[in-house]
Structure 1
Amino acid sequence: MKNEQWWKDAVIYQIYPKSFKDSNGDGIGDINGIISKLDYLEKLGIDAIWLSPVYKSPQDDNGYDIADYQAIDTMFGTLEDMDRLISEAKTHHIRIIMDLVLNHTSDEHRWFQEAKKSKDNPYHDYYVWRDAQDGQLPNDMQSVFGGPAWEYVEEVDQYYFHQFSVKQPDLNWDNEAVRHELYDMINWWIDRGVGGFRLDVIDQIAKVPDLKITNNGPKLHDYIRELNENTFGKGEFITVGEAWGANIDNAKLYSNPDGSEFSMVFQFEHIGLDQQEGKEKWDLAPLPFIKLKQVLTKWQEALDGSGWNSLFWDNHDLPRIVSRWGNDQAYRKESAKMLAVVLHGMQGTPYIYQGEELGMTNVQYPIEDYEDLETLNMYHERKKQGYQEEGIMRSIHAKSRDNARTPMQWDASDNAGFTTGTPWLKVNPNYIEINAKDNLEDPDSVFACYQKLIALRKSYPIFVDGHFHLLLEEDENFFAYMREDENSELLVVANFFDQQVNLPLELDLQDYTILYQNYKDTSGNLYRPYEARIYYKQK
């Protein structure tokens, strides 16, 4: 191995800066707010922070529309603040992972401002352009955010391609100059001391719009290997590619153990299970539990020894897992801990999204309290289409991205201790009961569970190396699996639901010790609602 691969037993914590901690009372989280909470994160035990974008941006897409890769948006602070975060995080044994958007820029980026001046401008070919055809669009491709994927620019009598917002023109990776500009920028961040990168929609960079190919284009892995060779491949960096189109075969390329592409990939197969087949995420369906076990097992087995998994339930685009697949009322603590146990016992690098370690929940606001563009667009579209208000709001309460973006709940003071001003997004009213201060004072809290699971990963190599074997494949209640290496066995057993049930498995557990249990005692084969245990034995 050319790299130390420290990230294999690491745990990553994602921060959505706008909602984490406000230091100056303007209602928006910022870099100095993050610095003020590094003690808290060190106490939790995490190894790195994945920082959602803080670059200069018009915020058309929450900072994923970058106007300057080498400047910090004033809402978050300054470049000096960023340097201080990188430096101070190191003193807490925490690395900073920057969120990189290499598929597109903002239309306010200097390159695009030049590109649309004339076809002869050297920056014109930094983007994807096609000639107008008798006033017609180049083809009928649609953008992810709705509407045509082509936008006309009169000055050049051409259309530019945008897979996402009209304010996010796609970069032309076929242009070598573009690629090397991006490599120079990445190396500039490496020189500033960052520990790695999360690469947004990276599977889109090799698009071929004339053939209507957006993800997994023919040159994709050539481009990624070149990117690696020119930047982070030279050091001990963690890299994770976001790839909604990932399957087993290309995930093995993305996370090849030879280090030629990325450390790991985010794949989302398990995330789409609780929606109606062939429909949108808003079209809710019960979680097919056995299918969930099958999907996670498939990825565990397929990448064992030939790739690496990223493990996650939550992120800035997903609802809170305790509300989604747990029970955020009567069994909030128990189910939050159970879900943590199931995830952290698997092979891969676990990701914790801010507030997940507190058992933060979804919100149920009236429509006027939502800020997320995707949510508001869906609401208005479905109203026009004749959907009932009650059904629309049920979908929003279940799946809106704002569920993840409500301000972090630090304590029971005004605005959950997030800000002294007016928060940009309404705070979840349950912050009185659910907050970091109370969690830290309670040895049996959700925070304490995550802290323990992180410590176990550091102490027992089997969490990293052990092979995965699913148990009770067809059981409707239990998520149970064995991890095994040459020296030891790890047994994870979780009652996934709110019924008390007996474990239908004959196990001789006298040689095992319990590393973790989410109830204060155990009662043999009887598992209470959402009960989870981790057993361990030396061979």
Structure 2
Amino acid sequence: MRHWYDQAIIYQIYPKSFQDSNNDGIGDLNGIRKRIPYLKELGINAVWLNPIFVSPQVDNGYDVSNYFAIDPKMGTMEDMDNLIKEMHEAGIHVIMDFVLNHTSDQHPWFQDAIKNPESIYRDYYIFAGENNQRPNNWGSFFGGSVWEKDPAGTGQFYFHLFDKRMPDLNWKNPEVRHAMTEIAKYWLEKGIDGLRLDAFIHIAKADLRQNFPVNSKDEEPVIAEPFFANLPQVQKWMRLFCEEIKQDYPDALLLGEAASANVNLAVDYTNKNNHLMDSVITFRYFTEDQSKIDPSFLSNYQPKPLDWVKFKQNQTIWQQTLSGISKPTLYWNNHDMARLATRIAKNDIQARSLAMLMYLQCGIPIIYYGEELGMKNLQFEDINDFKDDTVKEFVTSAEKAGKTSKEALLMASKTHKLPARGPMPWDNERNNGFTEKEPWIKGRKLDKVNVADEIADDSSMFNFYKKLISLKKEQLFQEGNYYLWPTSNGSYVYERNLKDKKALIAVSLSQEPIELEVGKEFSNERLSAGQYDLVAGKLRLEPYAGVVLEN
């Protein structure tokens, strides 16, 4: 059975940063509605919205306090209904971010759980330990222990894999599983077309008595990922969830965030026989080259180049292993990482070539808002703008090693996820047309790009992406086989073929010109970035250039 998402080209919208419609400095649903003609012009056929539920915004909406209502800063339920309706009229599917591993500590379930130790909602969360002794040494992704003292003073602790104000749900409890399924069905009944299942790989935990073995002198909490990621129980519980969704909504896309899952787990999560996800988003594509790290200070926010050999290996392994099972997701950036134009691309030409390289592979493209313009990370001038203690630790460490505060902040701005969430630039007016007030996020814009200028310029990044998206919709790039050519480290060359049609995507990763023997059958240019020459089967690519050739 074919589904709409088999040909999906997804555009990720970070709602707070896309378009403010009521001049409070925060993007909202009516702002997105206003820009539907832009999305249609670009050519995408689906949008993924980061969380828009009611939230205290400890973690930009990933801390949900009411799953059945829209956050007032985003708009109203009527606004959401109108957005879904108008997106559908434009031929665009709507995918919502669904946070199912944890809630906000302000959620009524958790509030009841800590106010009344006998509450039925106590078992909706994970409480353990006694006499103020933590059950184990596991560490949170956000720093410190996963255990926070029960505010009710019982001597127990509650489990939080992320911020302490985001307690994990207890998926062992069938009532929790039922409640989360009902929430998902509520939104699908409203007309949304899919769910991105946030952090689903963490819903199962190992025996809470089990410490993670470390050096006996080490008393710091340790991120014990094998004990709370990708455990077998995840598949059992998610199968029940996914089967019930698909029974009522067979055409709904279930897109799982499987951050640390390897390719074999991705097969398990997306194999049709397993009745789980349709596709997963992995964080395993981008292995960084650690060889240039300065060992005199913390490395977490030091800029690191991509290891291109490892990248080729990762891409090919995912392409070949998932072939015939599911379509991998194809992306360069998202709300959890620095932007392509900041992190990897050396210039505009390389940004275009890398877009060709990624999105014409087999899979589902996910384009991050503003990427199609060449947007870069913002530059933060104040350490507090990061709202992240790990940045403070990094800057302190860099200063002790002789770096200035300014140098350290510049490094963090290039690598941290928050500067990648800057306002969408629509025009040359105040705040680039995003808002007439101060935007919710502070930072210096390092690029000159905006929508109005780029739409008017035939040679712009926007118009390049438009052509690329149009090309991706062709059957060859949707259904063709994939084969990576054996070439030098300085190039990435692969073939797509379907029946008698063939395409060659050749991209230079080098700052020097390179030459490739491609044969005479690839002679028809479909798209290019930068300068190239093709003479008698010999292809010369200028630095960072790329070309799509067909037979």
The TM-score bracket by the shorter chain reads: over 0.9
User: Matches of 2:480 and 2:190 in 1, distance apart?
Assistant: 36
- Give the 3-state SS of the residue equivalent to 2:341 in structure 1: helix
Verify the 8 A CA contact 2:287 2:311 in the aligned structure 1.
Answer: no
Matched letter for residue 233 of structure 2: K
Matched letter for residue 68 of structure 2: Q
Verify the 8 A CA contact 1:50 1:98 in the aligned structure 2.
Answer: yes
Q: Which aligned runs of 4 or more in structure 1 are off by greater than 6 angstroms?
A: 276-279
Verify the 8 A CA contact 1:469 1:483 in the aligned structure 2.
Answer: yes
Match of 2:499?
486
Matched, 1:299 2:313: no
User: Matches of 1:158 and 1:6 in 2, distance apart?
Assistant: 48
Match of 1:318?
337
1:309 to 328, 336, 341: 328
TM-superposed CA distance for 1:217, in Å, is 1.7
User: Matches of 1:111 and 1:244 in 2, distance apart?
Assistant: 27
User: Matches of 1:463 and 1:35 in 2, distance apart?
Assistant: 30
**Residues 258-297 of structure 1: pairs in structure 2 closer than 5 A:** 258=273, 260-275=275-290, 281-297=300-316
2:527 to 510, 516, 523: 516
TM-superposed CA distance for 1:249, in Å, is 1.3
TM-superposed CA distance for 1:522, in Å, is 4.2
**Residues 320-399 of structure 1: pairs in structure 2 closer than 5 A:** 320-327=339-346, 331-332=347-348, 334-368=349-383, 370-373=385-388, 376-379=391-394, 382=397, 388-389=403-404, 392-399=408-415
Match of 2:481?
467
Match of 1:501?
514
String of CA shifts for 1:401-458, please: whole Å, max 9, x gaps.
1231111111111111110111112364345x31111110111111111111111122
String of CA shifts for 1:209-228, please: whole Å, max 9, x gaps.
44461101221111111111
String of CA shifts for 1:273-306, please: whole Å, max 9, x gaps.
2456998642443322122111111111110112
The alignment's TM-score, normalised by the length of structure 1, stands at 0.92
2:422 to 406, 417, 428: 406
Matched, 1:221 2:235: yes
User: Matches of 1:227 and 1:495 in 2, distance apart?
Assistant: 44
Structure 2's unaligned 5+ residue stretches are: 211-223
Matched, 1:97 2:109: no
* 1:118–1:194 Cα change, 3 Å: same
Matched letter for residue 348 of structure 1: G
Question: Identity over aligned residues, as a percent?
Answer: 36
Verify the 8 A CA contact 2:132 2:157 in the aligned structure 1.
Answer: no
User: Matches of 2:118 and 2:333 in 1, distance apart?
Assistant: 45
Matched, 1:149 2:142: no
User: Matches of 2:481 and 2:416 in 1, distance apart?
Assistant: 36
User: Matches of 2:534 and 2:413 in 1, distance apart?
Assistant: 36
TM-superposed CA distance for 1:89, in Å, is 0.6
Verify the 8 A CA contact 1:493 1:534 in the aligned structure 2.
Answer: yes
User: Matches of 1:350 and 1:181 in 2, distance apart?
Assistant: 31
Verify the 8 A CA contact 1:472 1:478 in the aligned structure 2.
Answer: no
String of CA shifts for 1:326-359, please: whole Å, max 9, x gaps.
12xxx32x12211110011100000000000001
**Residues 112-151 of structure 1: pairs in structure 2 closer than 5 A:** 112-132=110-130, 134-151=131-148
TM-superposed CA distance for 1:379, in Å, is 4.0
Verify the 8 A CA contact 1:12 1:47 in the aligned structure 2.
Answer: yes
Matched, 1:417 2:436: no
TM-superposed CA distance for 1:480, in Å, is 0.6
TM-superposed CA distance for 1:398, in Å, is 2.2
- Give the 3-state SS of the residue equivalent to 1:99 in structure 2: strand
Which region of structure 1 is more displaced relative to structure 2, 389-398 or 487-496?
389-398
User: Matches of 2:289 and 2:63 in 1, distance apart?
Assistant: 29
* 1:520–1:448 Cα change, 3 Å: farther
Verify the 8 A CA contact 1:371 1:425 in the aligned structure 2.
Answer: no
The count of corresponding residues between Structure 1 and Structure 2 is: 525
User: Matches of 2:387 and 2:496 in 1, distance apart?
Assistant: 40
Alpha-carbon RMSD: 2.2
The alignment's TM-score, normalised by the length of structure 2, stands at 0.90
TM-superposed CA distance for 1:13, in Å, is 0.3
Which region of structure 1 is more displaced relative to structure 2, 177-186 or 482-491?
482-491
Verify the 8 A CA contact 2:531 2:545 in the aligned structure 1.
Answer: no
2:257 to 234, 238, 242: 242
TM-superposed CA distance for 1:231, in Å, is 1.6
Structure 1's unaligned 5+ residue stretches are: none
- Give the 3-state SS of the residue equivalent to 1:365 in structure 2: coil
User: Matches of 1:370 and 1:252 in 2, distance apart?
Assistant: 39
- Give the 3-state SS of the residue equivalent to 1:342 in structure 2: helix
Which region of structure 1 is more displaced relative to structure 2, 55-64 or 238-247?
238-247
* 1:154–1:78 Cα change, 3 Å: closer
- Give the 3-state SS of the residue equivalent to 1:480 in structure 2: strand
Matched letter for residue 160 of structure 1: Y
User: Matches of 1:65 and 1:531 in 2, distance apart?
Assistant: 42
Verify the 8 A CA contact 2:133 2:155 in the aligned structure 1.
Answer: no
